[in-house]
Amino acid sequence: MSIPFKKDPVEFNQSLLFPSNIFDLLPADHECYIYEDIFKQIDTASIEKKYSVLGQNAYHPRLNISILIYAYSHGIFSSRQIKKRCHEDLGFMFISHLHCPDFRVLSDFRKENYEYFKACFKQSVLLAMEAGMTSFGHVSLDGSKFKANTSKHKAMSYGRLKEREKELTEEIEALVKKAEQCDREEDAEHKDKTGYEIPEELKIKEKRLTKIKAAKEALEQREQALNPGKAIEDKKQISFADKEARIMGKKGDFQYAYNGQITVDKDHQIISGQHITQNANDKQEVKPALQELKDTTGKLPDMMSLDNGYMSGGNLEALNITDIDAYIATGKGEAGCRFSH
């Protein structure tokens, strides 16, 4: 006896007789409609002045902004993944108006208009508040590691930087002497040499030394800012490709990354504040997170929830001077602590 499974609807294998709007497949209360209403209100006048009537028509800046904010609010940060979603996801297709900007267009737009992008983020949060999507009564703060555009293999420790600088300096001095001797011999033989030819090997080593000196100087400046007056440990590392990134991770998986701090509203998980830090943990991030919230919305929330990574004296002090009813987990398997005023 065969089991009576559900059959595919007739429409699945049959062309429609009359045209249909593809977005009718979305539920009437889908969040993309709310986002679209918010994005329509974003003021793009200041950035439109950067565009020219010449050349190929560009995507409207409001469209680029809408796609990026919608993607980031859904935890999608890769420009390539955003492009893919614009092809496959109905919500993204609605927000993008069935356009599909190349990933490079989206990435370059964000990088070239960073300050404007931040201003639009602020506009969208305020509009969401006006629309009643965020009560700002209860927010949650958490951090997430974003991998930097570099790797552990493009880095060097401070001790090794000092050793390599000394080695290269000695090698370059030896090559200079060799070049001078070579020039003297060739001048005596050919009479037409200028005496200033630089061997290719010397050029390569000079470039390498310049790169190492720059990395060493950047590491020294960084450590002086973090630990004024203290000697730099030889194990301290810096990346040649991204000198601002820091080694972060857990459970043996460590990569160069940044720590992204995100505050979301309880009602609809709308991102209400964000900032990037170079600190590997969250023990100093409450104060800048509260300042970001105040700058964006003009006020602080009534309640705030934080995981045990935020359990530190500095964070507790930052919360204690506010009127926020804060809840922090003190550790795994333990009851949290509450700060109310």
> What mean pLDDT is predicted for residues 234-255?
72
CB 270 within 8 A of CB 133: yes
Question: At residue 145, what are phi and psi to the nearest 5 degrees?
Answer: -85, 130
Tokens linked to 254: 């460590």
Q: Which residues pair with 255 in a beta bridge?
A: 248
Higher pLDDT, 222 or 307: 307
Confidence of residue 193 (pLDDT cuts 50, 70, 90): very low
* Cβ contacts of 174 within 8 Å, gap of 6 or more: none
For CA atoms 157, 162, 166, 169, the dihedral sign is: positive
Task: Kindly tell me the sign of the dihedral angle through the C-alpha atoms of 210, 211, 212, 213.
Answer: positive
- The answer to whether the predicted template modeling score (pTM) of the entire model surpasses 0.85 is no
Domain residue ranges in the chain: 10-48+56-133, 152-239, 259-339
Residue 240 has a pLDDT of 65
- Highest mean pLDDT among 17-21, 134-138, 321-325 belongs to 321-325
**Residue 192: predicted pLDDT:** 54
Mean pLDDT of 58-75: 87
pLDDT on residue 1? 58
Res. 63 pLDDT band, cuts 50 70 90: very high
Where residue 254 falls among pLDDT bands split at 50, 70, 90?
confident
Task: Mark residue 308 as left, alpha or beta (left: phi above 0; alpha: psi -120 to 50; beta: remaining).
Answer: alpha
Q: Which of 56-60, 201-205, 228-232 has the lowest mean pLDDT?
A: 201-205
195 has a pLDDT exceeding 50 = no
pLDDT exceeds cutoff 80 at 27: yes
CA 257: distance to chain centroid? 9
**Burial call 266-283: b when 16+ CB within 10 Å, e when fewer:** beeebbbbbeebebbebe
Indicate whether 109 pLDDT > 50.
Answer: yes
- Report residue 23: phi and psi, to 5°: -80, -5
Higher pLDDT, 126 or 37: 37
Q: Cα torsion at 130, 328, 244, 294 (round to 10°)?
A: 30
CB count within 10 Å of CB 230 equals 9
Strands of 187-252, DSSP E: 237-239, 246-250
Q: Which range is least confidently modeled, 197-206, 209-218, 228-237, 284-293?
A: 197-206
What burial class does residue 329 get, using C-beta atoms within 10 Å of its C-beta: 0-12 exposed, 13-18 middle, 19+ buried? Answer: middle
| Confidence check: pLDDT of 4 > 70 | no
The CA-based dihedral angle spanning residues 50, 107, 293, 325, taken in that order and rounded to the nearest 10 degrees: 160
